[in-house]
Amino acid sequence: MHQFDFLVLGSGIAGLSFALKVAPHGRVAIITKKNSAESNTNYAQGGIAAVTSKEDSVEMHVRDTLEAGAGLCREAVVRTIVQEGPARIAELIELGMKFTEREVPGPNGLREFDLGKEGGHSKRRILHARDMTGREVERALLAAAAARPCIRFFENHLAIDLITRQKVGGTGPNRCLGVYVLDKASGQVETFAAPVIVLATGGCGKVYLYTTNPDIATGDGVAMAYRAGAAVANMEFVQFHPTCLYHPKAKSFLVSEAVRGEGAVLKSENGVEFMDAVHPRKSLAPRDIVARAIDYEMKKSGADYVLLDITHKPARFIIERFPNIYQTCLQYGIDITKEPIPVVPAAHYQCGGVRTTVDGETDVPGLYAIGEVACTGLHGANRLASNSLLEAVVCAHRAAQRALASELPPVEQKVPDWQSGSAHHPDEMVVVSHNWDEIRRCMWDYVGIVRTNKRLQRARTRIANLQQEIQAYYWDFIVTSDLLELRNIALVAELIVTSALQRPESRGLNYNLDYAKPDPAWAQRDTVLHKPA
C-alpha cells in the first residue's frame, strides 16, 4: 500500500496548483491516467478571465458571470472567485507562466497584457498565451512541480474508486481513506491511502459523440464521488461549444471563442450572417445562445456545418494572434486568412459536478473536489467563457488552505486491498467498444443542445439497459481502463439524464422544448443527486 499526506487525482491546472500549494507541508502523490500534461487544461486556447485592467472592475466581471449563469450562480461564490483571480494570476506569473503582452501605444515603449475578449464579457479581460494558453499553464506548473522532491507523479495510473470508511465497514463517522488505482502498465490494482484526497479529474465531454475534450474526459471523478456517497449537482448543464472545426479527419479541434472576440462572424453555409437577428451581441452572444442558433440554422437548412469568417482581418494579425488555429486548419486544407472555417457545436464543459463549497469541500470528510469536476456555484446554468481556468486556480488555492487547516485526525483504519475475486480476462472486448459508441450516440441524439421529455425518457431507458450489461461485465472480468471508463461514462450519462428530467424548465444550457421558459420557482435551485442507500 502507498501512503501519502495528500493524494491528488489529476494533473491539470487544478491538481497541479493544489499539489504545489501543499508540497511544503507533506508528501504528495499525483495520480494521473495518461502522461502528466494530458488534460483538458492542455488544450485550452482562449485564456483565463481575470480583472487586471483599469477599464475593468470586479463588479463588471461578477455581473457578466451572473448574467451568463442565467439566475443559477451563487453570487457569494462568484464574488470570491472573481476577487481572488488577480492574486492567483500573479502567482502563476511568478511560477514562470508567460502571458502574451503588447506594447502600450505611445512613446514610452511600455508593455501590458494583451487582453482578449470572449462571448458574454463586457470588457477585454482574458489573459492568454497566444492561442495555446493551456499548454503554457501545463508547462509552467509541471516545471514547478518537477522541482519539488516531495511531489511524486504516478503516470498511466487510473483511479478506479474511492475508499471510504463506510464502504470498508469501519466504525466512526464516514470519511475518505484512499483510492484504488489501476497501474495501466502492469494491470495491477494498487491501494493508495492519505488523510486528504483531492479529485481534480476534469470533465466528461467523452459522454457525447462529438466533443472538444481529449480522451481523458470521461467523468471519472463525478462517477467515483457519486459511488462514494458525495452529492452531485446540476449535471444537466453541459456546455456545447459553438465552434468546433468540421472536418472528417479533425478529431475534436476547437476554434476558440477568442476568434469571434477579434471580429469573426458566423454565417450560414451560403454566406448569410444569422446572429444579428438572434442577440444584440450577435456572434459574441453567450455560448448557449450561439450553440442553439447554430443547431437551429443547421436543422433548418439541412447543412452539416456553418461558417466562421475572419477573412476581413489582416492575414498577419490572424497568423500572429492564432498561430495554432491557423496552422491546424491549414493542415486540413483551410487557409483561415482567405476562407471561412466550417464549424459545428460539440460538448465542451461540465458546469455541474461534485457539489462543493468554494473551498473544495465535498460531503465526504477528507474528500475535496476542484476544477471542472466540482460544482461550486460559479457557473450556474451556463459558464462564462474562460472562467473555468480561473475557478480551478482559485479553488485549488482555497482547498489547499482548508486542507492544511483541517483538524481531521490521521487515518488509523486499515485500508483493505482490492479484491479481484474470480474475475478472469475478458473474451469479447467488442461489448465494451459497442457500448461506448451506443452511449455516446444516444447522449448526442437525445440529450444534446435541444431536449424534450420524450427524448430524455428514451435515453433513460437505453442507458439503464446498457448499465445492467456493463455492471454484469464489470463483476465477471479483470478491469481494464476501457471498461472502467465505460462504467463511468454510463453512470455520468445517467446522472445528466436524471438531472435534466428533474428540472421542469428551460434555463441556460438546459433547453427543453416542453418548457418554453425559465420557471422563477427554480431560480437558485440546484438539481442534487445522491446515490440511493
Ligand X SMILES: Cc1cc2nc3c(=O)[nH]c(=O)nc-3n(C[C@H](O)[C@H](O)[C@H](O)COP(=O)(O)OP(=O)(O)OC[C@H]3O[C@@H](n4cnc5c(N)ncnc54)[C@H](O)[C@@H]3O)c2cc1C
Does position 44 interact with ligand X (CB under 6 A)? The reply is yes
Does position 13 interact with ligand X (CB under 6 A)? The reply is yes
Which of 21, 22, 32, 170 touches ligand X by CB under 6 A? 32
| Segment (H or E) for 176 | strand 176-183
Find the shortest distance in angstroms from Cβ 483 to ligand X: 13
Beta bridge partners of 405: none
Instruction: Map the footprint of ligand X across residues 80-139, applying CB under 6 A.
Output: 133-134
Q: How far is it, in rounded angstroms, from Cα 347 to Cα 252?
A: 10
Helix, strand or coil, per DSSP, at residue 19: helix
Does position 33 interact with ligand X (CB under 6 A)? The reply is yes
Radius of gyration of the chain (CA): 22
Which of 22, 29, 38, 232 touches ligand X by CB under 6 A? 38
Residue type, 123: K
Does position 371 interact with ligand X (CB under 6 A)? The reply is yes
390-429 footprint of ligand X as x/- string (CB under 6 A): --x-------------------------------------
Q: How far is it, in rounded angstroms, from Cα 211 to Cα 324?
A: 19
Find the shortest distance in angstroms from Cβ 306 to ligand X: 19
Rounded to whole angstroms, what are the CA distances from 262 to 14, 313, 390, 462? 28, 9, 21, 43
- Please identify, using beta-carbon distances, which residue of 89 and 278 lies nearer to ligand X: 89
Does position 159 interact with ligand X (CB under 6 A)? The reply is yes
334-353 footprint of ligand X as x/- string (CB under 6 A): ---------------x----
Rounded to whole angstroms, what are the CA distances from 125 to 64, 80, 85, 176? 11, 17, 11, 39
The yes-or-no answer on residue 63 being catalytic is: no
Window contacting ligand X (CB under 6 A); options: 106-114, 198-206, 325-333, 425-433: 198-206
Does position 463 interact with ligand X (CB under 6 A)? The reply is no
Does position 264 interact with ligand X (CB under 6 A)? The reply is no
Find the shortest distance in angstroms from Cβ 200 to ligand X: 5
Asked if 258 and 116 count as a contact pair (C-beta separation under 8 A), the reply is yes
**Phi/psi zone of residue 158: left (φ > 0), alpha (ψ -120 to 50 degrees), beta?**
beta
Which of 7, 20, 28, 31 touches ligand X by CB under 6 A? 31
Rounded to whole angstroms, what are the CA distances from 70 to 67, 117, 168, 226? 6, 20, 42, 26
Find the shortest distance in angstroms from Cβ 211 to ligand X: 8
Helix, strand or coil, per DSSP, at residue 3: strand
| N residues, the chain | 533
Residue type, 372: E
Find the shortest distance in angstroms from Cβ 286 to ligand X: 15
Task: Using CB under 6 A, list all residues that contact ligand X.
Answer: 9-15, 31-34, 38-41, 43-48, 133-134, 158-159, 200-202, 212-213, 216, 220, 254, 349, 371-373, 386-389, 392
Residues belonging to the active site: 287
